[in-house]
Structure 1
Amino acid sequence: MRNLDVTTLRSFVAVADNGGVTRAAGFLHLTQSAVSMQLKRLEDMLGVELLDRTGRRIALTAAGEQLLAYARRMVALNDEIMSRLSEQSQEGELTLGVPYDVVYPAIPRVLQQFNAAFPKVRVHLISSFTLTLKEQFARGEVDMTLTTESGTGEGAEALCTKPLVWIGAQGGVAWRQRPLKLAFGRHCVFRPHAVAALDRAGFDWELTVESDSDRSIEAAVAADLAVQIALQGTQPSHLEVIEHGGALPDLPEQKINLMTGKSGDPARDVMADLLRAAFSISEAPRLKAV
């Protein structure tokens, strides 16, 4: 009976999740050649090709797609055993701030991966507006926070850049109405960009919904009473990007930044690495099966 090596499985999962060997090597803190060798060793052991390297971009083969689900479970189980039974298992608390706009889809998976690695570290997730989170970080009320901003200020690290897009109800028509009805949070950092773009284009608009409740805003937009803007790829599943064909003004790009404060704490460093990987993936599609 042959035994699979968890290290090679971890490299395989990293390649699949990060969209390629280069990004996976950075995430694992290994050289590209080391990751490539581990993948080759795994393929030799199983007697199948896991990656299709014939095109411009590598992709998962059917066998690779099948292995991926097993590999995730084995790596997670390995990490859980090591964390729960090791005497060096770290305990404590970590407070993470995340803007409402970028909680989904990345943060649930980040929390799941972190819990597998540090089951005894309690994570407090605070979801709020960027301005509020930056103030809390400055006061030491959160250990690290993500922000969505036009630039990257001092003490922040840019993770990725995404365009802002108009979003509305599925199959909705509110975006065709004039004046254009908008729904925004009172402290939403995207709001000035939408207003500026509409004013430059000479659009009539009115603020129909203004609330501190993200749910209230989503409900109004889902009911096709108004439209709002969001970072591409972060809109709720019950809303959709408006394919307006130029009928609405273009919007600028925004950066997703990370503020971590002091480093050197293992749990904090792992959380930071998971966030970097999760949001850098948005710039490079995950590997698809062929």
Structure 2
Amino acid sequence: MRNLDVTTLRSFMAVADSGGVTRAAGFLHLTQSAVSMQLKRLEETLGLDLLDRSGRGIALTANGEQLLVYARRMVALNDEVIAKLTDQAYEGEITLGVPHDIVYPSIPQVLKQFNAAFPRVRVHLVSSYTRALRDQFARGECDLILTTETDAAPEAETLALRPLCWIGAPGGTAWRQRPLRLAFCRYCTFRPKVVEALEAAGISWDMAVETESDRTVEATVSADLAVHTMIEGTEPPHLERIDHNGALPDLPLQHINLYGAQTSRGVVTDTLADFLRRAFAGAGVSRLKAG
């Protein structure tokens, strides 16, 4: 009688979902060789080839596709049995990546809710730029990430669509100056779209501040020395949306995307993903009106 090992099935699922052994190893917190050995053991147990390794990437064979359906059910049932019969106290660490500009106001509330549900699981919050977060996610260094992008990535789940809005100092006049003085972080994904909108509107501009520090940008804008853009609803209390009466161009909608939650990854990760959905999805789609 041959018996399937749930651990090897979990590794098989991770490889199938992530599209590669390296990334799956990062998610599972195992070495690449350990995951490869588990896959080999699973294939030897069944006497079947489950992965097609002939191409540049890894694809499932027909047998692999069939096994994946059963593997999901078996792993889910295993986790349900453990949770129900042992009433285990979950513990460990989960890594969540969030762009600087959408940490507030939603993420503190998400962390509070998650801590109440899993007090022994530590959330390692990584705050960086969308481009850097996607690179980290691809390397398996983050379990879940949020991004701000101008489109909906096929491998991600869009939680909300919100417009960019012009941000300045309370009662400030920097937005009236020409050339328009801008303050942006060097790797900000909004920056190319903002410049494109200004060029299309025929508005001259000058990059007054180019930095890697969000604090530097905020200080400059607070001093009314430049303007900035942020996703609607994420501006801090010491800055305000600019009531420009159409003097500045409309800016594109931004997708707040969630990566890593397209398939079940266990109760801890799934719960955190649900909290993120609730925090951002309620905003829906809105468009800031000029004036």
Give the TM-score of the pair, scaled to structure 1.
0.67
In 2, Cα distance between the equivalents of 1:154 and 1:118? Answer: 30
Task: Flag the structure with more relative contact order, 1 or 2, with Cα contacts below 8 A and sequence separation at least 6.
Answer: 1
- Which residue matches 1:266? 267
In 1, Cα distance between the equivalents of 2:214 and 2:207? Answer: 15
For residues 245-281 of structure 1, give each alpha carbon's deviation from its aligned partner in whole angstroms, at most 9, with x where no partner exists: 0011111111000001552311100000000000012
Residue 253 to residue 284, structure 1, CA distance change in 2 (3 Å): closer
- Which residue matches 2:20? none
1:203 partner letter? I
In 2, Cα distance between the equivalents of 1:106 and 1:161? Answer: 15
- Which residue matches 1:283? 284
- Write the mapping of 1:90-101 to structure 2, written as runs, cut at 5 A: 90-101=90-101
User: Does residue 170 of structure 2 align to residue 163 of structure 1?
Assistant: no
- Write the mapping of 1:63-212 to structure 2, written as runs, cut at 5 A: 87-212=87-212
Q: SS of the counterpart of 2:282?
A: helix
- Report the alpha carbon displacement of residue 283 of structure 1 after superposing the two structures with TM: 2.3
Q: SS of the counterpart of 1:278?
A: helix
- Which residue matches 2:68? none
In 2, Cα distance between the equivalents of 1:139 and 1:90? Answer: 25
2:135 partner letter? E
For residues 160-212 of structure 1, give each alpha carbon's deviation from its aligned partner in whole angstroms, at most 9, with x where no partner exists: 10011000011111001111000001110000111000000111100000111
In 2, Cα distance between the equivalents of 1:192 and 1:133? Answer: 18
- Report the alpha carbon displacement of residue 114 of structure 1 after superposing the two structures with TM: 0.2
Residue 204 to residue 146, structure 1, CA distance change in 2 (3 Å): same
1:98 partner letter? V
Q: SS of the counterpart of 2:283?
A: helix
Q: SS of the counterpart of 1:283?
A: coil
Q: Which runs of 5+ in 1 are unaligned?
A: 1-85, 286-290
In 2, Cα distance between the equivalents of 1:199 and 1:219? Answer: 26
1:176 partner letter? R
The answer on whether the counterparts of 2:184 and 2:217 sit within 8 Å (CA) in structure 1 is yes
- Report the alpha carbon displacement of residue 236 of structure 1 after superposing the two structures with TM: 1.0
Q: SS of the counterpart of 1:151?
A: coil
In 2, Cα distance between the equivalents of 1:264 and 1:244? Answer: 46
In 1, Cα distance between the equivalents of 2:275 and 2:229? Answer: 26
Residue 284 to residue 151, structure 1, CA distance change in 2 (3 Å): closer
Comparing 119-128 and 87-96, the one that deviates more? 87-96
User: Does residue 234 of structure 2 align to residue 234 of structure 1?
Assistant: yes
- Which residue matches 1:73? none
In 2, Cα distance between the equivalents of 1:191 and 1:253? Answer: 13
Runs of 4+ in 1 over 3 A off after TM superposition: none
1:220 partner letter? T
Q: SS of the counterpart of 1:282?
A: coil
* Identical amino acids, percent of aligned pairs: 58
In 2, Cα distance between the equivalents of 1:248 and 1:282? Answer: 24
1:266 partner letter? V
- Which residue matches 1:22? none
In 1, Cα distance between the equivalents of 2:223 and 2:266? Answer: 46
The answer on whether the counterparts of 2:160 and 2:285 sit within 8 Å (CA) in structure 1 is no
- Report the alpha carbon displacement of residue 284 of structure 1 after superposing the two structures with TM: 8.6
What root-mean-square deviation, in Å, do the aligned CA atoms of Structure 1 and Structure 2 show?
A: 1.7
The answer on whether the counterparts of 2:208 and 2:226 sit within 8 Å (CA) in structure 1 is yes
The answer on whether the counterparts of 2:161 and 2:285 sit within 8 Å (CA) in structure 1 is no
In 2, Cα distance between the equivalents of 1:101 and 1:113? Answer: 21
1:263 partner letter? S
2:241 partner letter? V
In 2, Cα distance between the equivalents of 1:212 and 1:100? Answer: 11
- Report the alpha carbon displacement of residue 215 of structure 1 after superposing the two structures with TM: 0.7
1:283 partner letter? G
Instruction: Report how many aligned residue pairs link the two structures.
Output: 201
